[in-house]
Structure 1
Amino acid sequence: MKLIQASRMAALMLCLGGVAHAADLQTVEDPDSLGFSARRLARMTSWFEAQTKKGDPSGFVVAVARGGKLAYLQPIGLADHDKAIPMRTDSIFRIGSMSKQITSVATMMLVDEGKLDLDAPVAQYLPELRDKQVVKTDPATGDAILLELEPAKRAMTIRDLLRNTSGLVYPMADYADPGFGNTAIHLLYGARAPFRRDKPIASFVASLGALPLLHQPGEVWEYAIGYDVLGRVIEVVSGQTFDKFLQSRLFAPLRMVDTGFYVPEDKLARLVAVPGAQPAPLSDGDVTKPPTFFSGGGGIVSTAPDLLRFCQMLLNDGELDGARILKPETVRLMMTNSLPPDMHVAGHEAGPAFGTGWGLGFAIRTDPNFSLIPGAVGSFNWQGSWGTFFSVDPAQKLILLMMMQRPQYRHNAFYFDAIRRLPYAALKVPEVAAPLASQPSNAALLTDYVGRYDFGGSASSLDRQIFVADGNGWTGLKSVVVETDGLKVIKPVDGGPAARAGVLAGDLITAIDDASIRGQTLEAALRRIPGPVNAKIKLKIARETQSDPVVVAFAREAVPSHSVALRIRITDGKLVVEATGAWSVLDFDKGEPTPVAALSKDEFRVEGGDHTRIKFVRDAAGKVSGAVLNPGPWEQHGALFQ
């Protein structure tokens, strides 16, 4: 039996290896042949359909590919709610900031050809950005000092534009993402360099010439307009307008037939409507007419089939169907974190606090303790402000893609959580042959196992934080920044364990569990915060209103909004298991108690379905303290949380 199972897994890995071809992404394959449970993969359809039944006007297209083959492609809901037009697999979406990855690939194509120097000053190609001035900062607070400028210590480079360390910022306007900065400099950019579809890139870049940088180049990561500047760099270097370069050099070779900067008249019937009140016009707002400003940061429209081809090209190390787009070593460089550990991060979802670095145009999973990106370290992703998301896991040869269209920045994370978790939860776990033991006849013997078990923030062993193995303890510190003497609390989570224990915004944490964190990097200090659910943590705090240090101690808790939990009880003399947290897990669904049969003392198995095994863990005193799902290489650990 073990030999047969090993052979099946070897065959599956052979299937997942090698170079994928575009034809493999056109027809949905049998999910089981690609290592998925078809039943569990179907939960995605149910989940997204449930959102439309609850009245969400957004329709969806959801896709999953593995090993270059299509495991799932499903249109759900309506493309136009008001006109009752159904969603279709080739519906066209505004992809917002997922344009950045396309622009990054285009940039690196020219680097590969020797026409663009990655470390050359941007001014070498765009003289209007020469001799930039930088806003001075107060050395004591780090705050910008308005109206005081100093010369840049060095010129911004092409690499800086790709990794968001140029010192440029996003223009602030009334539609801006609250994750972006809102200083006077951001407002100045909004007034002097607004996005307009009728304004050429050259004119837009020229307007940046008179504006100061907010940060010294190379010193701060801040999500910025560098990709729009790169569009102009590509025009200058290639001699083509940015849209024509992308069409001839990238979209046509990859046969991305519906991707561009606007939707032609003969395809308008496939354009997904944005429900509700519309934001002020942006670079990617009205896509029904050809623009003059080709926004490399947010102006592209595309479809799920086109983006699957783009992602598969990257998984294939830069090639698809004989079209070589990038050198393999270039793809590896782009997908390697380029930010040093001490890089200051200004806002958004990158940096040690998110377990996420930044390559050359892509967010990279660097630390599974904190990362929101699923899969192996080295997985890469990004999202668009209109509600599109992709993630690529090179270790599993897995592409996840979700397309929807919503007014900008409206609660998209709720849906991103689903596409992050549900496909990983559908991956099959290799079965282990084991005979069933006789069910304990005395129900009292089963009472040891009754309770709620918390498995942290993930529904899969492949999509988990390290501390899930210890119960994924959560302290409720929403935002902190590193200072010389420790971690300054910007905001604790309202009602979270830290807030309830008395931690306040403005507190400076100087020690964790009696060990000083003075002088530590943000990453090193953050590693000290997680721990097992129910485990105590003690913080020593310096507070401006008190002369003596404040010491608070409290127990870590399970993450409430992302928790994966099982409720185990006895029904009709049998042990039954039901998912009670945010997500179903393996054979266990919400609202459907599933009986398990005994394999041995402390180990049980689902008799049907995917034969999920659950083994209970006891502490030194012999008391049940946790559970392990599918013991072995794919195991998931949970803590008993009464």
Structure 2
Amino acid sequence: MIDRRSFLVSSAAVAVGSAASARGIGGGKADAIAGIALPAGFNGIIAYARNGRIEHVRSAGFADVEERQPFSAATAIRWGSASKWLTSVAALRLVEMGRLRLDASIATYLPQFRADTGNRVLVHHLLSNTSGIPDLLSRQLASEPDLRTSTAATADIVARFGGGDLAFQPGDGWDYAALNWAIVAQILERVSGEAFPAVMRRLVLRPLAMSGAGFVQSDQRMVPNLAAAYGAVAPPVRKMATVPAFLAASGNVAGTVGDAVRAAHGIFHGPLLKPASRTELAKVRWPAQEYVLGGRIHPVVGEPWAWETGKVQAYRTHIAHRLARSETIVVFNTTDMEQSQIGSWVETIARA
């Protein structure tokens, strides 16, 4: 096990200096991070940032166990469902450009969609998982495993699986359905005229200087410094596979801890979104799940934090960001941990 705390220099937007620690800034956060009892075999990183600048970072274990390559701040991992948050930001940017409306129906942009459903389900229902459209796609995965490696176009997947009867009236229930996000991806492609990864790079990744981020799927370039993920580490057993492109909007982004900090600070405190869009992004749509557009808002000591989590195969991501002022906590893990354990660490750091 390699376990080290270090300061790093990442970029103009995300920089670290030991002087910040020497001044005692965020010392309680540093102590909280240092005090976490990492499980044996932990591979990952824990970081705390303020105003888009990483102040404390602790990395442990290996990005590649077989090659004994240490996990570091330059290591990228897959973000799983934290990708939905970025998808929602792209949608809001298209709203600001007048290309999309949150209160418009699916049929407005996809006239070929099943008529009764397409006219009743609105874009914000898809982005908040309150559409009522049954997730026939995820149900089919069990009996048709080849879907996991399918190169089918998003439009073909939506046409095949989007015709089910509504499970509940739009807005009256909540279902964490992957199909919602395939429909969102098709809408964004239709209104932008670009493939989904291209519109995401143009509207989100590049403006936020997420230089280490990309999409882990067969039709995209390999993400640099991507860590391996493990269902077991002694002996190492890898648990990782490419996710098809039609799920790009729900879980295919990968990036570094610096990318996560740049995203959180830039989305909530930078010029990327107008104030009205930031308000829409943080508006709770389904209180029982603390769910907003593509993520959650979770209270910590009475203050709202964006609470973006994700898992795909053995990758685990938690990006928490304090809305009242720019503080970001990031935990990456590649050893198939329970998400609740990671969440408890983030809560402890946030309260420190």
TM-score strictly above 0.5: yes
- The equivalent of 2:305 in structure 1 is 379
Q: List aligned pairs for 1:392-403, cutoff 5 A.
A: 392-403=321-332
Q: Structure 2: how far apart are the matches of 1:267 and 1:224?
A: 26
- Taking a change above 3 Å as real, the CA distance of residues 67 and 224 of structure 1, as seen in their structure-2 partners, is same
- The equivalent of 2:63 in structure 1 is 79
Structure having the higher strand fraction is 1
Q: Is the 8 A contact 2:16 2:54 kept in 1?
A: yes
Q: Structure 1: how far apart are the matches of 2:301 and 2:17?
A: 22
Q: Structure 1: how far apart are the matches of 2:291 and 2:177?
A: 13
- Per-residue Cα deviation, 1:294-323 (whole angstroms, up to 9, x for no partner): 51001111111111101001231xx3xxxx
Amino acid at match of 1:380: A
Q: List aligned pairs for 1:176-191, cutoff 5 A.
A: 187=139
Secondary structure, in 3 states, of the residue corresponding to 1:127? coil
Q: Does 1:62 align with 2:18?
A: no
Q: What is the aligned counterpart of 1:93 among 70, 77, 81?
A: 77
- Taking a change above 3 Å as real, the CA distance of residues 416 and 77 of structure 1, as seen in their structure-2 partners, is same
Q: Structure 2: how far apart are the matches of 1:251 and 1:35?
A: 29
Q: Is the 8 A contact 1:34 1:71 kept in 2?
A: no
Where does structure 2 lack aligned partners over 5 or more consecutive residues? 1-10, 232-236
Secondary structure, in 3 states, of the residue corresponding to 1:129? coil
Amino acid at match of 2:229: V
Q: Structure 2: how far apart are the matches of 1:224 and 1:170?
A: 5
- The equivalent of 1:237 in structure 2 is 191
- Taking a change above 3 Å as real, the CA distance of residues 82 and 37 of structure 1, as seen in their structure-2 partners, is same
C-alpha displacement of 1:63: 1.4
Q: Structure 2: how far apart are the matches of 1:388 and 1:415?
A: 9
Secondary structure, in 3 states, of the residue corresponding to 1:336? coil
- Taking a change above 3 Å as real, the CA distance of residues 259 and 267 of structure 1, as seen in their structure-2 partners, is closer
- Taking a change above 3 Å as real, the CA distance of residues 220 and 278 of structure 1, as seen in their structure-2 partners, is farther
Name whichever of 292-301 and 108-117 sits farther off.
292-301
Q: Is the 8 A contact 1:132 1:155 kept in 2?
A: yes
Q: Structure 2: how far apart are the matches of 1:205 and 1:103?
A: 17
Q: List aligned pairs for 1:491-570, cutoff 5 A.
A: none
Secondary structure, in 3 states, of the residue corresponding to 2:347? helix
Structure exhibiting the larger radius of gyration computed from Cα positions: 1
C-alpha displacement of 1:132: 4.6
Amino acid at match of 1:262: V
Q: Structure 2: how far apart are the matches of 1:381 and 1:170?
A: 24
Taking structure 2 as the reference length, the TM-score comes to: 0.83
Secondary structure, in 3 states, of the residue corresponding to 1:23? coil
- Taking a change above 3 Å as real, the CA distance of residues 389 and 169 of structure 1, as seen in their structure-2 partners, is farther
Q: What is the aligned counterpart of 1:44 among 33, 42, 49?
A: 33
Q: What is the aligned counterpart of 2:290 among 357, 360, 382?
A: 357
Q: Is the 8 A contact 1:335 1:378 kept in 2?
A: no
Q: What is the aligned counterpart of 1:201 among 148, 154, 157?
A: 154
Amino acid at match of 1:236: R
Structure having the higher helix fraction is 2
- Per-residue Cα deviation, 1:527-570 (whole angstroms, up to 9, x for no partner): xxxxxxxxxxxxxxxxxxxxxxxxxxxxxxxxxxxxxxxxxxxx
Q: List aligned pairs for 1:340-351, cutoff 5 A.
A: 351=288
C-alpha displacement of 1:195: 4.7
Amino acid at match of 2:139: L
Amino acid at match of 2:30: L
C-alpha displacement of 1:275: 1.0
Amino acid at match of 1:417: S
Q: Structure 2: how far apart are the matches of 1:267 and 1:126?
A: 31
Q: Structure 2: how far apart are the matches of 1:86 and 1:94?
A: 17
Q: Is the 8 A contact 1:311 1:399 kept in 2?
A: yes
Q: What is the aligned counterpart of 2:351 among 424, 436, 451?
A: 424
- The equivalent of 1:115 in structure 2 is 99
- The equivalent of 2:276 in structure 1 is 329
- Taking a change above 3 Å as real, the CA distance of residues 362 and 262 of structure 1, as seen in their structure-2 partners, is closer
- Taking a change above 3 Å as real, the CA distance of residues 160 and 196 of structure 1, as seen in their structure-2 partners, is farther
Q: What is the aligned counterpart of 1:274 among 229, 232, 241?
A: 229
Question: Could you tell me the percent identity over the aligned residues?
Answer: 23
Q: Structure 1: how far apart are the matches of 2:280 and 2:107?
A: 24
Paired residues, number:
329
Q: Is the 8 A contact 2:44 2:333 kept in 1?
A: yes
- Per-residue Cα deviation, 1:205-231 (whole angstroms, up to 9, x for no partner): 111233333222121012122222211
Q: Structure 2: how far apart are the matches of 1:303 and 1:197?
A: 27
Q: Structure 2: how far apart are the matches of 1:32 and 1:360?
A: 39
Where does structure 1 lack aligned partners over 5 or more consecutive residues? 1-21, 134-151, 173-185, 340-349, 366-372, 426-642
Q: Is the 8 A contact 1:196 1:293 kept in 2?
A: no
- The equivalent of 1:27 in structure 2 is 16
Q: Is the 8 A contact 2:88 2:294 kept in 1?
A: yes
Q: Is the 8 A contact 1:200 1:294 kept in 2?
A: no
Q: Does 1:261 align with 2:215?
A: yes
C-alpha displacement of 1:325: 2.3
- Taking a change above 3 Å as real, the CA distance of residues 210 and 110 of structure 1, as seen in their structure-2 partners, is same
- Taking a change above 3 Å as real, the CA distance of residues 295 and 205 of structure 1, as seen in their structure-2 partners, is same
- Per-residue Cα deviation, 1:350-370 (whole angstroms, up to 9, x for no partner): 60xxxx5222222123xxxxx
- Taking a change above 3 Å as real, the CA distance of residues 399 and 198 of structure 1, as seen in their structure-2 partners, is same
- The equivalent of 1:103 in structure 2 is 87
C-alpha displacement of 1:73: 2.4
Q: Is the 8 A contact 1:129 1:208 kept in 2?
A: no
What RMSD over aligned residues (CA atoms) do the two structures have, in Å?
A: 2.8
C-alpha displacement of 1:24: 5.0
